[in-house]
Amino acid sequence: MNQVTAIKGRSLPAEFADLDKYLDWALPTERARSRKRLASSMEEIKAFYDDMLARIEPALDYLNGFPLDDMPEPQQNLLNLTLMLAEVANAVELFKTQPGVIDGFDPERFITDHEGGGD
């Protein structure tokens, strides 16, 4: 069995091949994850949420075996999917009908220090 599965030059650990369809959700920055959430339909968000929630415990257990500051690409992609789950959780659990914060300010106004305003 291969150690990783690949799609479009990106990969996940083989143990998580069932999540390959979400590789385009494995985004490296908070800003990119926020933009993805806001650009997605609630149906897409809910499907991602349901699939990731079912795999979050095994994913976190698996990722605990790798150093956070030197994680191989497949594992980093899996970590980014877990971060994306955190990004969409409020849309599913609290907002329920829309991807954005109800009565919230424009998320493009929020710039994290480590991202320096870029993507």
Type of residue numbered 67: P
pLDDT at position 113: 59
pTM over 0.85: no
In terms of C-beta distances under 8 Å and separation of at least 24 residues, what long-range contacts does 69-73 make, across chains too? 73/10, 73/11
Residue 116 lies in a domain: no
Whole domain around residue 60: which residue ranges? Answer: 20-95
Total domains in the chain come to: 1
8-17, 40-49, 62-71, 103-112 — which is least confidently predicted?
A: 103-112
* pLDDT tens digit sequence for 31-74: 899 899 989 999 999 999 999 999 999 999 999 999 999 999 99
What does pLDDT average to over the chain? 82
- Residue 6 belongs to some domain of the structure: no
In a domain, 42, yes or no: yes
Q: Is residue 114 part of a domain?
A: no
Please provide the DSSP assignment of the chain as one string: --SEEEETTEEEEGGGGGGGGGGGG--SSHHHHHHHHHHS-HHHHHHHHHHHHHHHHHHHHHHTTS-GGG--HHHHHHHHHHHHHHHHHHIIIII-S-SSPTTPPPGGG---TTTTT--
Instruction: Answer yes or no: is 78 within a domain.
Output: yes
101 located within any domain: no
